[in-house]
Every structure is written in C-alpha cells, then in structure tokens.
C-alpha cells in the first residue's frame, strides 16, 4: 500500500471521529511493532498538510526485558524530527518473575497503559494515539463475545476519566494486511517482541480464527467491522 492511500484512510478516520483539535499535543505509543511505527510516520506526514495544527512526540514504555535496543527507533524519530521518549519500568519482572502470571497479557496491558498515561501526562500531552487497526477492532469484538459473552470493542476515541487523556485510533479504517504491505515498502525499524507469551495468547487464537473465517467466507471481516460501526453510530 502506498503512502497516499495510508494517509487517505488515516485522515478519513480522524475526520469522521473528530480525533484532532487545534493545539493537541499527541503522543504516539511506540511498541516497536509495524503498526505503531507506521502510525507515527503517517501522522508525521499528515501533520504537514492537515488544516488543524497539532504537535507530535513518540513514547515507548520499556517493559524491562533484557537486550532490547531502541536505538534504531530513536534514529527513525530523529529522521522524522519527532521527539522520542523512553519510559523505563520493571513490568516484565513483576509479571513474569514476581507474579508468574499464567495469563500475563491482561496485567501487562494494564500496567503498560498506566505507565504510558502517567508518562505522557508528565510530558504535557493531552492525547495518545494507538496503532490499532480494523483487524484489532474485530478481534477485540470476537474476544469479548467468546470469553465475556458481550458485544464490545474499543472506541475510536476514548477519554480516560482519571487522567483526562484521550485515546485516539487513527488507523481504524486500515486492515492489517495493508499496514504489512506499507511496512514492506517503507522498511521501518521493527523490533521483534521479546515477550515470552508472544504468539501464544487468546488474541493470537482469535486472529488465526478470523483469518480462517475470512478465507472461507470472503469479506466476513469487513462485514463484522460494518456491524461494529453500526453499533458505534447508534451509541453516538
């Protein structure tokens, strides 16, 4: 996928859900994966011509895994002229050594988001952008249906009550395959996940299930996303 196509879908989501207002200071949460790096690049390019002025910075929560090198991401941010901040934590030690969680994702996610929200508030940011895409929205909906018995997924824009920070998801209209194609063209400095649970989670199970469903029933993913959009519209 070409940059212009990525920017078009990004801007459409931003406009449809009024994700950006004048003077916003937006932190892009950088995990080191393809989604967050692609989002940072897209927002940086969008910033140059978008009619509403906003500022950007990039923020990584360092979970504390050994031998993780963020230098390549730092150079990437330097090239984009975007300030880059690394927030050190001991989350990995707490989750995998102290707590020895059998299902670590939930606790890790809560602690990571807490550290990120505290860090970006200290940096003076009022919004944080996540690289969640269409597949993530559908997978989250399926996870909720299968394991919680309810129809639920994340919102395009969410305001966190305690911190007052808003979460925005500008890649909502992009499919994961499109981001993969974009990354293959751009060759972003993607970091391999050091998490020992990577690839062995309920989300990965649902991801593979959705992939099979879409192969056997072409277009089912888009129809599921349409159902999510309809639900979101009715709740607005």
pLDDT of residue 234: 54
What is the set of domains in the chain, with CATH numbers?
3-235 (3.40.50.620)
Which of these, 124, 165, 147, 122, lies nearest to 203 by C-alpha position? Answer: 147
pLDDT of residue 67: 85
pLDDT of residue 151: 87
First to last CA, the chain: 31
Reported as a single tens digit per residue, the pLDDT across 57-113 is 999 999 989 889 999 999 999 999 999 999 999 998 998 888 777 778 888 888 999
pLDDT of residue 23: 94
Kindly tell me the burial class for residue 189, based on how many C-beta atoms sit within 10 Å of its own C-beta (0-12, 13-18, 19 or more). middle
**DSSP type of residue 66:** T
Give the residue ranges of the chain where pLDDT is below 70: 232-236
pLDDT of residue 96: 84
**Which residues neighbour 44 within 8 Å (Cβ) at sequence distance 6 or greater?**
56, 80, 82
C-alpha 54, offset from chain centre:
19
Helix, strand, coil shares, percent, the chain, to 5 = 50, 10, 35
Question: Half-sphere exposure (CA, 13 Å, Cβ side) for 166?
Answer: 16
**Which residues neighbour 14 within 8 Å (Cβ) at sequence distance 6 or greater?**
20, 46, 50, 168, 170
CB atoms within 10 A of CB 200: 9
pLDDT of residue 225: 94
**Which residues neighbour 57 within 8 Å (Cβ) at sequence distance 6 or greater?**
25, 26, 27, 28, 82, 83, 84, 85, 123, 125
């Amino acid at each position: 996928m070409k940059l212009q196509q990525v920017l078009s879908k990004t801007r459409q989501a931003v406009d449809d859900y009024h994700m950006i207002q004048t003077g916003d200071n937006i932190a892009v949460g950088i995990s080191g994966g393809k989604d967050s790096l692609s989002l940072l690049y897209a927002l940086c390019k969008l910033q140059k011509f978008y009619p509403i002025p906003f500022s950007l910075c990039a923020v990584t929560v360092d979970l504390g895994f050994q031998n993780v090198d963020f230098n390549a991401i730092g150079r990437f941010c330097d090239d984009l002229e975007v300030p880059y901040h690394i927030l050190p934590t001991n989350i990995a030690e707490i989750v995998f050594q102290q707590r020895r969680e059998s299902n670590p994702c939930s606790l890790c996610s809560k602690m990571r988001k807490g550290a990120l929200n505290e860090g970006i508030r200290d940096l003076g940011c009022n919004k944080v952008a996540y690289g969640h895409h269409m597949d993530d929205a559908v997978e989250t909906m399926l996870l909720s249906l299968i394991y919680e018995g309810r129809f639920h997924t994340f919102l395009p824009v969410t305001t966190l009550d305690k911190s007052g920070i808003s979460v925005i998801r500008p890649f909502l209209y992009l499919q994961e395959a499109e981001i993969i194609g974009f990354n293959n063209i751009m060759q972003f400095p993607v970091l391999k996940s050091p998490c020992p649970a990577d690839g062995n989670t309920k989300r990965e199970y649902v991801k593979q299930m959705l992939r099979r469903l879409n192969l056997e029933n072409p277009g089912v993913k888009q129809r599921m996303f349409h159902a999510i959009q309809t639900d979101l519209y009715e709740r607005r």
